[in-house]
Amino acid sequence: MAVRAVRGAVQLERDEAGHMREQVEELLTAVLARNELTADDLISIWFTATPDLHSDFPAAAARDLGIVDVPLICAQELDIEGAMPRVVRLLAHVETELPKSRIAHVYLGAAAALRKDIAQ
């Protein structure tokens, strides 16, 4: 079993707690599904949010999905002029048999523009 890293991001339409949880849940669900993973395969997840997001912790969405025994952390993304606003990113460390070439990094909606080279 290998340890792999999976990236993902989603741009929120607005800074509201319910909306953030809904969008982050969708992102996490897609990361798990596209990589044939379950919560038991997760080692840890690092979330970042752009400085314009204040309504909730992105990790709360993972807890709402039942991911309760996985270390989670939230941090603020760098405040870079011209960067895409209202973005939550994740970096999940997982155990999987998938080779690096088959890892599906998930960038939903407008966030796909962030990493056109790896977004699927």
Is residue 2 classed as helix, strand or coil in its secondary structure? strand
In this predicted structure, the answer to whether residue 106 has a pLDDT above a threshold of 60 is yes
Strand order in the sheet with 42-49: 72-76, 42-49, 87-96, 2-11, 106-108
Which letter does DSSP use for residue 99 in this model? -
Task: Write down the H helix ranges in the chain.
Answer: 17-34, 59-64
Go through the domains of the chain in sequence order and give each one's CATH number.
2-117 (3.30.1330.40)
Query: What pLDDT score does 119 carry?
Result: 55
- The residue behind tokens 């991911």 is 67
Cα dihedral 18→24→26→28 (10° resolution) = -150
- Residue of 76, 1, 75, 65 whose CA lies nearest to 30: 65
Question: For 14-54, how does the pLDDT look when each residue is reduced to its tens digit (9 = 90+)?
Answer: 999 999 999 999 999 999 999 999 999 999 999 999 999 99
Active site residues: 7, 63, 74, 77, 89, 107, 115
* 3-state SS, residue 8: strand
Q: Binning pLDDT at 50, 70 and 90, where does residue 111 land?
A: very high
What per-residue confidence (pLDDT) applies to 67?
96
pLDDT tens sequence across 45-94: 999 999 999 999 999 999 999 999 999 999 999 999 999 999 999 999 99
- pLDDT reading at 118 higher than 80: no
